[in-house]
């Protein structure tokens, strides 16, 4: 374990080209991912319960979105992992551990991809129930607000604290879980991703409640994740986010029209131009969806939106 003990001292002494390249690379990938995400979601329903599209479209958008949202937050972990790997390779006379670092990041992305697929299945199953009480004009705001309030409660649980501690302590995690080789790096990244999912799944559920295809809400949730993972005041950040989520959840439930940036289903709540998407829906079925896609929404004529599709 001596190699692990040496890492903090070396990290404090110098940040060489490898670490700078890793951090710059993650940030650059995140920037590209944000640009790609904006292009892929252009013209889509940005509100709560919006249509996620086909599985293939969603999966591609989800992976890119995760890169955009999560890569800045995992930079300390990837940097620490690279430091340890480089030290071990230097002792063995090996070259740069590029393959292992890539495998570690790939394992992390894989963990979030699995979560994204589970979220897609749950969302589609919920929509398939086609219950009128779940439509936005009925109980939709209360459901969305309830999800956000549940996320606030989760912020205060021991499980959240345990997962967040793993995310905030890269060296402790690596010391406890270390595995050699590229395969070991992939598994290590997958394990770290699983802890990260345990830490942030409720915040991601909040994103679904606010509008999973909305770039402003993606930025908001990504900022919350970065704050609680990177700020030095763990408890303050955690509790502060819980309070913010309580206020947001209550506002969405009881006064959704007053929430800045929230696109109300069936309306252009965030100021974006929704006319192209609305025209496409009208031309395909003659009726317009009522927001919470597939969740009991009805068109102007009183018939179920999904039945209007040929």
Ordered DSSP codes for 210-250: H-TT-HHHHHHHHHHHHHHHHSS-HHHHHHHHHHHHHHHHH
Euclidean distance between CA atoms 48 and 62, whole angstroms: 16
Report yes or no on 285 lying in a domain: no
Residue 295 clears pLDDT 60, i.e. is over it? no
Number of domains in the chain: 1
Instruction: Compare 23 and 281 and report the one with higher pLDDT.
Output: 23
Lowest mean pLDDT segment, chosen from 22-26, 45-49, 80-84, 283-287:
283-287
Q: Give pLDDT, residue 93.
A: 75
* Structure tokens given for 132: 């009128």
Q: Give pLDDT, residue 44.
A: 59
Report yes or no on 97 lying in a domain: yes
Report yes or no on 66 lying in a domain: yes
Q: Give pLDDT, residue 131.
A: 76
Report yes or no on 190 lying in a domain: yes
- On the 0-12 / 13-18 / 19+ scale of CB atoms within 10 A, 176 is exposed
**SS3 for 298?**
strand
Euclidean distance between CA atoms 245 and 151, whole angstroms: 7
Q: Give pLDDT, residue 23.
A: 53
Instruction: Compare 226 and 243 and report the one with higher pLDDT.
Output: 243
* Structure tokens given for 256: 């959704």
Which residues, 6 or more positions from 266, have their beta carbon under 8 angstroms from its beta carbon? 136, 288, 289, 290, 291
Instruction: Compare 296 and 126 and report the one with higher pLDDT.
Output: 126
Euclidean distance between CA atoms 220 and 69, whole angstroms: 10
Q: Give pLDDT, residue 288.
A: 40
* HEC assignment per residue over 248-283: HHHHHHHCHHHCCCCCCCCCCCCCCCCHHHHHHHHH
In this structure, are residues 210 and 252 in contact, taking their beta carbons and an 8 Å threshold? yes
Report yes or no on 59 lying in a domain: yes
Q: What is the dihedral of CA 85, 179, 118, 138, to 10 degrees?
A: -60
Residue 119 clears pLDDT 60, i.e. is over it? yes
Report yes or no on 42 lying in a domain: yes
Lowest mean pLDDT segment, chosen from 82-91, 144-153, 181-190, 283-292:
283-292
Residue % of the chain over a pLDDT of 90: 32
Which residues, 6 or more positions from 56, have their beta carbon under 8 angstroms from its beta carbon? none
Residue 4 clears pLDDT 80, i.e. is over it? no
Report yes or no on 291 lying in a domain: no
Residue 284 clears pLDDT 60, i.e. is over it? no
- On the 0-12 / 13-18 / 19+ scale of CB atoms within 10 A, 204 is buried
Residue 92 clears pLDDT 90, i.e. is over it? no
Report yes or no on 80 lying in a domain: yes
Task: Looking at the chain, list the stretches that DSSP marks H as alpha helix, in order from N- to C-terminal side.
Answer: 2-13, 17-41, 55-92, 98-128, 140-154, 158-168, 170-177, 181-210, 215-230, 234-254, 275-285
What is the domain range of residue 219? Answer: 14-257
């Amino acid at each position: 374990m001596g190699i692990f003990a040496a890492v903090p001292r070396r990290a404090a002494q110098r940040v060489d080209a490898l670490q700078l390249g890793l951090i710059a690379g993650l940030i650059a990938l995140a920037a590209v991912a944000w640009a790609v995400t904006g292009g892929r979601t252009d013209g889509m329903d940005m509100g709560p319960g919006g249509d996620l599209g086909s599985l293939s479209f969603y999966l591609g958008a989800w992976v890119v979105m995760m890169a955009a949202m999560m890569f800045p937050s995992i930079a300390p972990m990837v940097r620490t992992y690279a430091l340890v790997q480089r030290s071990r390779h230097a002792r063995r006379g090996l070259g740069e551990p590029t393959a292992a670092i890539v495998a570690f990041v790939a394992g992390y992305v894989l963990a979030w991809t699995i979560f994204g697929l589970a979220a897609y299945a749950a969302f589609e199953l919920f929509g398939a129930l086609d219950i009128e009480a779940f439509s936005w004009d009925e109980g939709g705001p209360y459901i969305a607000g309830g999800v956000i309030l549940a996320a606030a409660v989760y912020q205060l649980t021991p499980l959240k604290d345990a997962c967040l501690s793993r995310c905030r302590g890269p060296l402790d995690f690596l010391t406890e879980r270390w595995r050699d080789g590229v395969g070991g790096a992939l598994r290590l990244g997958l394990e770290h991703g699983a802890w990260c999912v345990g830490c942030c799944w409720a915040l991601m559920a909040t994103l679904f409640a606010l509008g999973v295809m909305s770039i402003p809400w993606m930025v908001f949730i990504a900022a919350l994740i970065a704050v609680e993972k990177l700020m030095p005041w763990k408890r303050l950040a955690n509790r502060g986010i819980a309070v913010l989520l309580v206020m947001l959840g209550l506002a969405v439930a009881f006064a959704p029209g007053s929430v800045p940036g929230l696109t109300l289903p069936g309306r252009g709540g965030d100021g974006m131009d929704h006319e192209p998407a609305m025209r496409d829906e009208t031309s395909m079925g003659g009726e317009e969806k009522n927001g919470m896609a597939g969740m009991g929404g009805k068109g102007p004529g009183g018939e179920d939106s999904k039945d209007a599709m040929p």
